[in-house]
């Protein structure tokens, strides 16, 4: 499946926006009083294809004074949108964001309310305070055209350093037994990494329940077994979808850490490798549009050096972890290929592995050549 850089954004929701706004307004009045007013309702585009994000402002009176607050609501995708993941645990996301905000100074937004009653919006949801800033966009990718692409090298370096520092802060959070019970994937494994990989194998089996399997992904799982790290390191909070596209920035400093639906525990390298790989996933497609992109960002050794200085931990086995990141993203794209076929945006190719747009990258990682020019 080839990437068309000018293609329309894949369908992400089948919900009626006007109905959502009306129902949310009613719910807000139940929280803040009958005089509460919702305004500025919108649903942003340009990043993500999973949980839905609703932006709105709310005004109400409290102790005789007028108060206003900029808010964000997050809710799982509706079943009609053929969701990317089998489940969306909004209560867990709410708890983890609360935990992370309380225990480190990474810019995790302040969560306000969790609502588990599906009668209001048709699904559980939570509301958090809105942070202001700009995210490097996914569609079109920021390496094609964006404020980050147009920034000078010093500012881009500063943004990269700040993003890595966010990971170091999250990974330094101390976890109790109850925290680990909340965060760990619900799959058997003797170590944090084993549990994480078991959860991804289960996800792959869910994606391929229709019988269309990926020889490439299955070879990559086998490759991992032969190259498994000898020392996995500490079990830390793993943000999961750890990438600069899930951060807001102002003056190249992060103002918000967003999208916690992939949160788990695992080695520190999980987040580092994901942040590195997702950048290169975009960068590898820049020749298609004839732009240089940002080849000097998220270099393997530079990220490892910066993280070591910030945390005292030297990342290990990064070629293993970046292959795992590419494999995980491959499963996501394998699912998205089915969604595109369902909505008539693409056809299932004769070779199912062609639904994985970074197939050449996974193959090069397994033969050891991918990072030769990207270190």
For residue 48, pLDDT beyond 50 = no
Same domain, 78 and 173: no
Residue 321 counted as domain residue: yes
Same domain, 101 and 157: no
How far from 272 is each of 23, 173, 251, 362, 365, CA to CA, in Å? 39, 16, 23, 17, 16
Six-digit token string for 162: 């700040």
Sign of torsion, CA 123 128 132 137?
Answer: negative
Residue 181 counted as domain residue: yes
Same domain, 253 and 169: yes
Given 129, 156, 172, the domain boundary residue is: 129
The confidence score (pLDDT) of residue 49 equals 56
DSSP 250-271: ETTEEEEE---TT-EEE-THHH
For residue 163, pLDDT beyond 50 = yes
Same domain, 168 and 315: yes
Residue 330 counted as domain residue: yes
The confidence score (pLDDT) of residue 25 equals 94
Same domain, 112 and 194: no
Q: How confident is the model at residue 75 (pLDDT cuts 50, 70, 90)?
A: very high
If residue 73 lies in a helix (H) or strand (E), which one and from where to where?
strand 65-75
Given 96, 129, 162, the domain boundary residue is: 129
For residue 74, pLDDT beyond 70 = yes
Residue 334 counted as domain residue: yes
Same domain, 231 and 346: yes
List residues with catalytic annotation. 241
With tokens 């525990």, the residue in question is 265
Can you tell me the mean pLDDT for 28-41? 94
* Separation of alpha carbons 78 and 322, rounded Å: 31
Per-residue model confidence as pLDDT tens digits over 276-335: 999 999 999 999 999 999 999 999 999 999 999 999 999 999 999 999 999 999 999 999
**Cβ atoms 127, 112 nearer than 8 A:** yes
**Cβ atoms 141, 280 nearer than 8 A:** no
Residue 140 counted as domain residue: no
- CATH (domain of 96): 3.30.200.20
Given 79, 94, 129, the domain boundary residue is: 129
The count of domains in the chain is 2
**Structural domain span for residue 101:** 17-129
Residue 362 counted as domain residue: yes
Q: How confident is the model at residue 1 (pLDDT cuts 50, 70, 90)?
A: very low
For residue 364, pLDDT beyond 60 = yes
Residue 178 counted as domain residue: yes
Can you tell me the mean pLDDT for 80-84? 85
Residue 7 counted as domain residue: no
Question: Could you tell me the pTM of the whole model?
Answer: 0.93
Same domain, 37 and 63: yes
**Cβ atoms 167, 275 nearer than 8 A:** yes
The confidence score (pLDDT) of residue 3 equals 43
* Separation of alpha carbons 35 and 350, rounded Å: 58
Same domain, 178 and 93: no
DSSP 143-192: TTSSHHHHS-HHHHHHHHHHHHHHHHHHHT----HHHHHHHS-SS--SSH
Average pLDDT, the chain: 93
Can you tell me the mean pLDDT for 220-241? 97
């Amino acid at each position: 499946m080839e990437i068309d850089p000018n293609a329309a954004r894949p369908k992400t929701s089948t919900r009626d926006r006007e109905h959502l706004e009306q129902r949310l307004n009613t719910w807000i009045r139940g929280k803040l009083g009958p005089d509460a007013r919702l305004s500025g309702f919108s649903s942003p585009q340009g990043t993500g294809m999973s949980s839905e994000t609703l932006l709105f402002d709310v005004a109400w009176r409290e102790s005789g004074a007028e108060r206003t607050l900029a808010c964000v609501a997050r809710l799982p995708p509706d079943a009609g949108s053929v969701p990317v993941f089998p489940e969306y645990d909004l209560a867990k996301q709410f708890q983890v964001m609360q935990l992370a905000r309380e225990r480190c100074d990474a810019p995790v937004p302040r969560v306000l309310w969790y609502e588990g009653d599906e009668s209001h919006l048709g699904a559980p949801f939570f509301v958090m305070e809105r942070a202001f800033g700009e995210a490097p966009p996914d569609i079109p990718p920021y390496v094609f055209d964006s404020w980050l692409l147009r920034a000078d090298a010093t500012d881009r370096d500063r943004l990269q350093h700040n993003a890595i520092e966010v990971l170091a802060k999250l990974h330094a959070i101390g976890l109790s037994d109850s925290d680990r019970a909340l965060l760990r994937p619900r799959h058997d494994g003797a170590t944090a990494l084993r549990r994480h990989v078991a959860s991804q194998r289960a996800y792959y089996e869910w994606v391929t329940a229709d019988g269309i399997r990926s020889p490439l992904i299955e070879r990559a799982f086998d490759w991992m077994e032969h190259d498994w790290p000898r020392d996995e390191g500490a079990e830390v909070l793993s943000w999961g979808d750890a990438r600069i596209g899930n951060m807001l920035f102002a003056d190249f400093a992060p103002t918000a850490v967003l999208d916690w639906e992939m949160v788990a525990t695992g080695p520190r390298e999980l987040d580092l490798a994901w942040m590195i790989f997702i950048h290169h996933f975009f960068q590898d497609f820049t020749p298609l549009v004839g732009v240089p992109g940002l080849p000097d960002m998220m270099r393997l050794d530079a990220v490892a050096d910066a993280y070591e200085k910030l945390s005292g931990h030297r990342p290990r086995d990064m070629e293993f972890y970046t292959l795992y990141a590419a494999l995980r993203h491959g499963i996501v794209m394998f699912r998205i290929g089915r969604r595109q076929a369902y909505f008539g945006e693409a056809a299932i190719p004769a070779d199912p592995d062609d639904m994985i747009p970074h197939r050449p990258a996974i193959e090069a990682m397994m033969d050891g050549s991918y990072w030769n020019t990207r270190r």
